[in-house]
Amino acid sequence: MFEKWYDLIQQLYKEFKTYDPFVLAENKGIDVLYVPFGETPKGETVRFKDETIILLNEQLIEKNERFFVLAHELYHAIEHEHLSAYYTTQRNGKGTLEREANIFSGQLMIKMYEETYGFPPETFKDLQHHYGVSEELEDYLTR
């Protein structure tokens, strides 16, 4: 099930030698900006002409959740670049694309944890604490 995400994560690591989504975005030429969204959204991927920008809610600046949210948006920037019209108009498609981005993000956070600490996370709570991984992903990431 995770082969699609695993392959992309491995490709990114092979090219950039890191799992850190901030470094990956920078190396992919994607600007990351913090903006005053209010309570929501936590992040958004914006395309203007040939440029991709990821906007993160400024409330995340000091929160570990910024890693998970950026990884989620990075997936949209890489994998959904030609689906922006579909993404915004299709209710069911949007749910599928969001789930894909969340699973990718969770998988990337597992690899980032391993890169940072030298061993995999012992519990799902480790991922939540260090990177703000969404609780809804526990079943997907602990199988």
pLDDT digits (tens, 9 = 90+) for 50-103: 899 999 999 999 999 999 999 999 999 999 776 543 333 334 445 888 888 999
Residue with tokens 């969404």: 134
Instruction: Please report how many Cα atoms fall inside a 13 Å half-sphere around the Cα of residue 41, on the Cβ side.
Output: 11
pLDDT at 62: 97
pLDDT at 90: 39
Q: Of all residues in the chain, what percent carry a pLDDT higher than 70? A: 88
Cα three-residue angle 35-75-26, rounded to 5 degrees: 60
Give this prediction's pTM. Answer: 0.89
- Backbone angles phi and psi of 140, in degrees to 5: -70, -35
> Residue 126 class from Cβ within 10 Å (0-12 exposed, 13-18 middle, 19+ buried)?
middle
pLDDT at 87: 36
Strand partners, 31: 53
Mean pLDDT of 115-128: 96
pLDDT at 97: 85
Q: Kindly tell me if the per-residue pLDDT of 112 is higher than 50.
A: yes
From residue 96, how far is each of 10, 24, 27, 93, 126 by CA, in Å?
22, 24, 27, 5, 26
Q: Of all residues in the chain, what percent carry a pLDDT higher than 90? A: 69
